[in-house]
Structures are given as structure tokens and as C-alpha cells.
Chains A and B, each alone.
Chain A
Amino acid sequence: MSVVPAQQIYTVSELNAVVRRMFEAEPKFTRCYVAGEISNFKHHSSGHMYFTLKDEHSRLRAVMFAGKNRSVTFRPQDGMRVIVAGSLSVFDRDGSYQMYVEEMQPDGVGALYVAFVQLKERLNSEGLFAESRKRPLPRYPQRIGVVTSPTGAVIRDICSTLRRRYPNTKVVLSPAQVQGPTAAGTLVRGIERLLLYSQTVEPIDVLIIARGGGSLEELWPFNEEVLARAIAACPIPVISAVGHETDFTISDFVADVRAATPTAAAEQAAPTAQELLILLSQIKNRAETALARRLEGARQRLELSERSRALQDPRRIIAVHRQSVDYLESQLRQYAERPIRKADRKFQYLRDRVVRHDIRHQIERQRTVLSGLENRSRGKIEAQMASRNSHFEKLVATLTALNPLAVLSRGYGVIYGADKTTVVTSVSQLKQGDAVHLRFQDGTVGARIVDEWEEDHGRAVQSRLDI
């Protein structure tokens, strides 16, 4: 470089000031309109809005001061397409030009944002974000898988957080790109690599998928469906920590736990050793107290027993023991005898059954039955006969009383005619010389009428018989 006169050399500030004046002198720049997509939007606590306007090929830095942006009726967000009006100038400190926005209108909705909303709605309707799918994280993870960039602040933050809080674990880093069009594929591969490791080498207890803050475009891989599905299918619980507190990605929705930042993810993945040491002290105290209480109880019982009569009088111990010996002996006897008695009863029973089945015994028994029956029937027959006999005798007596021939025994007789059947009841039936038969009690004799007379006054005709 040749020597240049000193007055021709600008300081940086001077040059930036010159360029700024040129910008401000250009009428086209005092009021111009630009259409673009918002990105890297920051609403500063001062109230000013800082963002980048961009299209496919180029970017423009923009600022909208608090006094101006109060008139904006919508909430600008990354990915939104807007049309802004304002002036251009140079920001001296950075030496970069930027647009000072005075008005801003939405220009449709950014394509990426639309894609994000649509995918979110679709996966949500599939139930991929459902609360019921969320798995609890392990309490004491031995191995924590991390899918992120191997360089950069994210893995450093995670490791330093774990080193500080819970060094009793192992971080298994599965490297992936976290930005750019191929990032989603490498993130999916990162998860698969961890699962392979978990299955073939040693089990991973929880998985963190993480990225630092960035624009919607930069975070976009975490909004891709292929990654969302890989997280949903992951058999190990997943913590998603992408971007800052205010950034939400599809990964966050589908993961089991969403952490605001990578540091927060590490905090949620593991407990703190300090708290665990306190917990261990408490457990130790509990064990000591419990044992002390148990020992105290035992000691009190021992004292009680010492005070009891048994220990004060040794003979009583012997008596007690003797009693228990007696008891045991009787028990023993009972236990020994019981089977024998039982067997004996069984034997008797069986013997009875055998005897009953003995044929001679049966005959004997039947005979007894038979003679019993015989006795009973004989008695019945005799009784019947006796009653019939007496009845018969009564009949005979009656008949005897009615028999006309019975009077013959008292000296009466019956006179039959010559025909021996006609009973002669009147003198008039007879005349001298008639043959008659006289029936006496013990027989009949023939006779002949020798004489005849008639009694006066109704007296019977008397015949003289010649027997």
C-alpha cells in the first residue's frame, strides 16, 4: 500500500457517519416499503422490536421503536410475512444499515408458519400429543442419552448441569446436525443410534433431544414430521429442549417432557446429589429411630418379665415346666392312643359286618324269625278257633232249644200216621184199627189204634193204643 495523506484516512466512526449521511440524503430511503418474512424477532424489554426481514435470497435488519410499534394491531412473530414502511439508515456502532420501521402490516401468513400449524393440528388429531402417552421419567437415571450437536453450547450446558447436580450418571452423546435441510434426518439417525446402543451395549434410561435458541427457520428441523414420529415411537422417555422459553416446536409437543432450555432438560432428567444426600440422612435417621424404638420395646418387655413372679421364684419355673411336661405327655398319649382306638373301632365295625354276613348266623337269625312268626300265627289260629267254638256252641244251644224233638227227652212223643210223615195232631184223624208210629226220644215203634172216644165239651178224642 502506498503512502496516503493523513487527512484522507477516515476513522471507522467517521466513515460510518459519512455513509449514514448519504443514506439520509437519499429521498428514496426516507420513505420506502418492503415486503418480507419476519425472522429473529425480539421484543425487547425496552419495548423496541428488533427483527430481520428476509426472502429466499437476502436479509434486511429492522427495528421498530416502542413509540411506533404501539400502533401495530397484531403480534409479529417469526415466519410471518409482513409489509413494512419506514426509512433506511446506518447503525453507526455496527456499521450496518437497517430499516427503521414506522408501520407494519401482515402480508398473509408465512409459509413455514402455516406448515407448522398444519402439522401440529394433524399430529394432535392423531393423538400424538395426548397426555396419556406421556411417560414418567426415571428417578435415578444411570445413563442419559443426548441427541444434539457435539460442538456448541447445548451439550456443554447439559454436561455442566449434570456434573454440578448429579455426577452419578453417564452422558451418552449421539451427534446430530441441529440446523439446515438435512438436520431432521440426522436427528432421527441420532435417536436410532442411541436405541441401537441401548439394545446392544447398555440400557439408556432417558433421552434428551436439544438445540439452542434460533429463528423459526433454524429451529425448523424440530418441526419436521419424520422427527416427530421418531420421538413418538421411541421406547425410551424423551425430553425435548429446543430453543428458548418462548419457542415451541413439534418435538416439544410430542416428547414426554418439554424443557424450556437444554439446562432445564438436564435438571429434569436427574435429581440433585445434594438432595439425595439429605434424603439418605433422613432415611438413616428413620432406621436408627425405628431400631431404637424396637430395642426399647424389647427392653421393656424384658423388665416386665424380670419383675414377674416366675423369675422371682425359681421353683415356679420348674412347676411351670413340669406342668407343660405333663401336658405334653398327656397330649402325646392322646395322640398315640387315638389312632389305636380308632383302628379298634374300625375293627369292631368290620367284624360285625363279617359276622352279619356269616351264613350260619343268618340261618340262625332266620330261624328265630320263623319261630317268632310261627308262635305268633299259632296264637292267632288258636284264638280264632276258641272264639269260633264258643260261637258254635251258642248256635247249637239255640238250635237245641228250637228242636221239637228235644221235648221227647222229657217224656213227650210224636205220633205219625201210617205214612210215617204226617204228624197226627187230632183224634179225628184216627179210627179204630189204624196203624200209627210213635216217635220217642230214642226211637220209633209201630202201634195200632184199639179204641176210640170223644171227650165231651171239646175234649180231645182219646184213642187207645195197642202198641
Chain B
Amino acid sequence: MGEQFNPDLTFEQAMKQLEETVRKLESGDLPLGESIDQYKQAMSLVQFCRQQLDKAELEIVQLIEQDGSVTAVQTSEVAE
């Protein structure tokens, strides 16, 4: 336990984990030490989710089929 979490979390996973962490924290059943760990974890997750939302630049790719496989290419045609 602690403030460490997998940095490859998806936004959805992070939100889910965040909600669980806060719920645990609010239940008041945790020992003090663990409460602090959970709090640290919640703060890191909030930070992580904010960064995800802030940094993001909408990515747009277009699919191209070739010889039965499919690849994505960056496209600028639909950019503003």
C-alpha cells in the first residue's frame, strides 16, 4: 500500500481506483497509518487524472487497409 500506483493506468481505471480509495477513507475503518497511505494515494490519483485531462490534445487517426491488415495514419484533414 502507499502512494505508488501503476502509471500505465487508463483514465477510467484511475477514476475507479480513486473512487474506491476515497470510499475506504470515508468509511473510517482504516488504521491511522493506512488512512494516511490511502490519502496519499488519492492525492496522486487526483493529480494523475488532472494531468491526463490537461495535457491531452485530441488525437485523430485514419484507418487504411492494406493486404488484409489495418493501420492508422495521422490525419490533418479534419483538424480545425
Contacts and interface: CB of A to CB of B under 8 A. Distances in A.
A304 interface: no
8 contacts: A138-B12, A150-B75, A193-B70, A277-B53, A283-B18, A286-B26, A287-B42, A298-B32
A324 interface: no
Interface stretch (A98-106, A153-161, A217-225, A399-407): A153-161
Interface of B: 10-12, 15, 18-19, 21-22, 25-26, 28, 30, 32, 35-36, 39, 42-43, 46, 49-50, 52-53, 56-63, 65, 69-72, 75, 77-80
B63 A159 contact: no
A273 B19 CA distance: 17
The 5 lowest CB-CB distance pairs between A and B, nearest first, are A168-B56, A287-B42, A290-B25, A140-B12, A170-B59
Contact of B60 (A171, A284, A291): A171
A200 B42 CA distance: 34
A34 B15 CA distance: 63
Contact of B77 (A150, A280, A283): A150
B59 to A, nearest CB: 4
B13 to A, nearest CB: 9
Contacts of B22: 283, 286-287, 290
Interface string A158-190: 011011000111111111000000000000000
A142 B12 contact: yes
Given A283-B42, A294-B32, A277 B50 contact: yes
The binding surface of chain A is classed by DSSP as helix
Contacts of B35: 290-291, 294-295
Contact of B46 (A151, A156, A175, A284): A284
Contact of A173 (B30, B32, B53, B60): B60
Contacts of A138: 12
Nearest to A161: B58
A291 B62 contact: no
Contact of B15 (A140, A160, A175): A140
A322 B79 CA distance: 79
A175 B65 CA distance: 10
A337 B45 CA distance: 55
Nearest to B21: A287
A297 interface: yes
Given A170-B58, A280-B53, A294-B30, 20 more contacts: A138-B12, A151-B77, A156-B78, A156-B80, A159-B80, A160-B80, A167-B57, A170-B59, A171-B60, A171-B61, A174-B63, A196-B69, A197-B72, A201-B70, A273-B53, A284-B42, A286-B26, A287-B22, A287-B42, A294-B32
Contacts of A294: 25, 28, 30, 32, 35
Nearest to A189: B65
Contacts of A257: none
B60 A170 contact: yes
A194 interface: yes
Nearest to B18: A283
A431 interface: no
Contacts of B49: 276, 280
Nearest to A152: B78
Nearest to A139: B12
A228 to B, nearest CB: 22
A367 interface: no
A283 B39 CA distance: 11
A201 B39 contact: no
A174 B30 CA distance: 49
Contact of B72 (A168, A201, A298): A201
A215 B79 CA distance: 28
A151 B28 CA distance: 55
A293 interface: yes
Interface string A325-350: 00000000000000000000000000
Contact of B62 (A168, A173, A273, A293): A173
